[in-house]
Structure formats: structure tokens, C-alpha cells
Amino acid sequence: MTRVNNYPLLIEFVPGTRISREPEVVSKLPIVQNGPPGTSIVFGDGATVPLPTDQIVFAEDGGGAARVGFDASWLIPVNSR
């Protein structure tokens, strides 16, 4: 069981969802910092939703539903204006 307090933003998706990660590709071209492979949530009907892979700090789908934790340091509190 993951403690909610461990991640600033933790999303638990509906039952039947799973996490899909694209395989890492090593390019033969001189590309610097091309970013991590893509991560998506796959729903039971096959629909996919891409996620901001570089901000994911936790991901699991072993309990029948995908759960993804994000580094939410980019969030700005509403009352900080």
C-alpha cells in the first residue's frame, strides 16, 4: 500500500487500467537529451492517454488499477499571487 503523503500528486485510475512504457531507443543520430521513453495509461477499452514521463516519480498497476505519482514541484499554490 502506497502512502498518499509520499507523492505531491498521486492519481489512481479506474479499475482495469494499466501502464504502458515505450521501449528506450538508442538513436544513431547525435541527439542530445531526447527525453525518456513515453509512458501512457491504457484503459480497458484500449484507449490510451499519454503522461508527462519526465515528471513521474512513482508508477504501479499491480493492484488492478494504475496509480501514478508525479513530482508536483511545478504546481503553484492558488493563494501565492
Domain span holding position 44: 4-22+37-70
Provide the number of structural domains found in the chain. 1
In a domain, 42, yes or no: yes
In a domain, 50, yes or no: yes
Gap between the Cα atoms of 53 and 5, Å rounded: 21
pLDDT at 20: 95
pLDDT in tens, 26-56: 777 776 655 567 899 999 999 999 998 888 8
User: Angle CA(66)–CA(72)–CA(73) in degrees, nearest 5?
Assistant: 160
Query: In 16-53, which positions are buried (b, 16+ CB within 10 angstroms) versus exposed (e)?
Result: ebebeeeeeeeeeeeeeeeeeeebbbbeeeeeeeebee
In a domain, 8, yes or no: yes
pTM for this model (two decimals):
0.71
Q: Which three cell numbers stand for residue 53?
A: 514521463
pLDDT at 55: 86
